[in-house]
Structure 1
Amino acid sequence: MAVSTAKAPSIPNGVIGANPENLKAPKVSYGVPTENIGTKRKIICFSDFDGTIFMQDTGHVLFDAHGCGAERRELLEQQIKSGERSFKDVSEEMWGSLKVPFDDGFDVMKQTLEIDRDFKQFHEFCINNDIPFNVISAGLKPVLRRVLDQFLGETLSSQIDIVANDAQISEDGSEWKPIWRHESELGHDKALSIAEYRDAASLESEDGTIPMIVFIGDGLSDLPAARHADVLFARKGLRLEEYCIEHKIAYIPFETFADIQREITKIMKKDEEKTHGKGMPTNYNPRANLWRRISSKNQIPKYIAQTPKEDRMFLWPETFSELKQMEALHAQ
């Protein structure tokens, strides 16, 4: 799966596509202009999905309604946190508990999911300013794509790249099986990741400028990304913001994507005044070179190799589980 860095075609200001009926899509406010602001710096956005673009977790909605149920799901999540079971093992049980056709399962998501009320406007802003927008998620790509298709329309949805696990879903809904990005026991081949990092040498985008990396998130799975972005946005009052405060990491709080759009506009204009799009971005963070290398090569971001050990449990709980199991064996 490739990470998008290509330019997207502009769309008329205010045209964001019609919503299908019965979808929980709060009315969009148009208080922030979405037209092209004419800056030269390449901006690349990476964003979490569940809890960031949408207020609910897509997997939780499905498991609670058509699978193992909320009580069992919460128990399984505790097993991951304690290290009793791996992320991959637990995830396969939760997805495997679903016994519902894909279309029928999506009915409950249409009734339950709520999109950030200003995301559509922000997406329009990204399109008009040639800002690639990439979703990074531990969920299933077919589910996330279907959600975006329904809430944004297929045309606008197609301009968002999704980096997530694929899935095999039988027609009758009797089998939901994640297809992991790697076929190792943990679903992640560290040696392959390191090799890919070695191959990713360039920090520059195709036109020779150094892109500014923006990451948007809300919770535990986004913690390592907090250290690997030039500009970090954390949803107010949630775990990512708490982590940034605890570890003195620079971040910008947001309540809706309108806040993000305003701040990015300010940052783009400031960078244009100071650099005219040349050299290092004004908000340059050396750790963000990881994302720059990935985006310049259109590779899937697998940054466990450069994630501090204390952060790995949050983005890579399967690895944390493995370490906990090893510690238990040594203690015997």
Structure 2
Amino acid sequence: MSDPIPESTLPYPPVYKDKRFVVLTDWDGTITTQDSNDYMTDTLGYGKDKRRAGNLSVLEGRRTFRDAFREMLESIVANGHSFEECKEVLRKNIKLDSGFKDFNSWCKANDIPVVIVSSGMAPSIRAVLSNLDDEEAANAIDIIANDVEIHPDGKWNIKFRHPSSGYGHDKSRAILPYKDLESPPLLFFFGDGVSDMSAARHADILFVKQKDDGENDLAAYCNREGIKHIIFHHFSEALGVVQSVVSGEKTPEEVLAIGKA
């Protein structure tokens, strides 16, 4: 029996019905060099040790991502940090993958939409995306994420897209509508962590980012579940793989068999 479809509290951008290829990508730790919410929790909230313990409890199935993530953000609010302060901290400290700008430009030039699918909050993503130094390109990227609610007293909380889902944002709901199209595009998905688990098995070609700090929860999940994926370190590496598939030089099966970019 399949899980019930979670009701979304937030709108979705239109599905790209006439494209041959679509890129859907996680934001934190994938497009960025480190997870912005982890960074906030480690520096402004209850710290890395408790945050990491929460991540592992999700990976092991003892807690939902939604509840662990909410607790992380609540620790930041409890320490008196406003959302505007958090956005500024992220804008100054979170960097984009060095290859993402060229990757995004190539996709745009080849009529391949790039859609950010994130368990973070859209306003904080836009704040960091402004570092792309190309306002037009930054604004053209669709973002499917959670939102934020800011209260009169200055406190804030995350507004989950799918509050009834254990993920808070079930990323598979950004992928599955493409599968129902008469002529579905080939879907590339890029991710790195526990929030990407719901999307992992639905991608045609799954890229899993190897992070410099050694944390690789999505790879651990995929290895455990037998989900084929490609390990990459930077989008500059992944671009060559995507180009080989788009040109027809290689099939999805061939690139997945190699397992690394």
Secondary structure of the residue aligned to 1:107 is: helix
The one of 6, 9, 12 aligned to 1:2? 12
* Cα distance in 1 between the residues matched to 2:91 and 2:251: 38
* Cα distance in 1 between the residues matched to 2:200 and 2:149: 32
Post-superposition Cα deviations, 1:211-239, rounded to whole Å, max 9, x if no partner, equal 11111122333344332122222224734
* Cα distance in 1 between the residues matched to 2:165 and 2:22: 32
- 2:207–2:230 Cα contact (<8 Å) kept: yes
Secondary structure of the residue aligned to 1:165 is: strand
The one of 60, 63, 83 aligned to 1:102? 83
Say yes or no: does 1:216 pair with 2:226.
no
User: Which amino acid is the alignment partner of residue 215 of structure 1?
Assistant: F
Query: Equivalences for 1:124-135 in 2 at 5 Å?
Result: 124-135=105-116
Say yes or no: does 1:141 pair with 2:122.
yes
* Alpha-carbon shift at residue 139 of structure 1 (Å): 1.4
User: Which amino acid is the alignment partner of residue 50 of structure 1?
Assistant: D
Secondary structure of the residue aligned to 1:120 is: helix
* Cα distance in 2 between the residues matched to 1:144 and 1:127: 20
* Cα distance in 2 between the residues matched to 1:247 and 1:77: 18
Q: What corresponds to 2:160 in structure 1?
A: 180
Say yes or no: does 1:64 pair with 2:64.
no
* Alpha-carbon shift at residue 264 of structure 1 (Å): 1.3
* Cα distance in 2 between the residues matched to 1:188 and 1:220: 12
Secondary structure of the residue aligned to 2:73 is: helix
* Cα distance in 2 between the residues matched to 1:240 and 1:81: 9
Secondary structure of the residue aligned to 2:248 is: helix
- 1:230–1:283 Cα contact (<8 Å) kept: no
Query: Equivalences for 1:64-83 in 2 at 5 Å?
Result: 64-77=42-55, 80=58
Secondary structure of the residue aligned to 1:97 is: helix
CA change 1:147–1:204 in 2 (3 A) is farther
The one of 235, 239, 247 aligned to 1:257? 235
* Cα distance in 2 between the residues matched to 1:226 and 1:198: 11
Say yes or no: does 1:113 pair with 2:91.
no
Query: Equivalences for 1:135-214 in 2 at 5 Å?
Result: 135-170=116-151, 174-184=154-164, 202-204=180-182, 210-214=184-188
Q: TM-score, normalised by structure 1?
A: 0.58
Query: Equivalences for 1:24-35 in 2 at 5 Å?
Result: none
Q: TM-score, normalised by structure 2?
A: 0.72
Q: What corresponds to 1:93 in structure 2?
A: 71
Aligned length: 236
**Structure 1 vs Structure 2: percent identity of aligned residues?**
32
Post-superposition Cα deviations, 1:185-221, rounded to whole Å, max 9, x if no partner, equal 857699xx9xx9999884235xxxx311111122333
* Cα distance in 1 between the residues matched to 2:176 and 2:188: 23
Q: What corresponds to 2:209 in structure 1?
A: 235
- 1:4–1:161 Cα contact (<8 Å) kept: no
* Alpha-carbon shift at residue 146 of structure 1 (Å): 1.5
CA change 1:203–1:256 in 2 (3 A) is same
* Cα distance in 1 between the residues matched to 2:141 and 2:239: 17
Larger Rg: 1
More relative contact order in 1 or in 2 (CA 8 Å, sep 6+)?
1
Structure 1: 5+ residue stretches without partners? 8-39, 272-281, 286-332
Q: What corresponds to 2:27 in structure 1?
A: 49
Secondary structure of the residue aligned to 1:106 is: helix
CA change 1:203–1:267 in 2 (3 A) is same
- 2:190–2:207 Cα contact (<8 Å) kept: yes
* Cα distance in 1 between the residues matched to 2:156 and 2:92: 21
Post-superposition Cα deviations, 1:239-274, rounded to whole Å, max 9, x if no partner, equal 434554555543333221112211111111117xxx
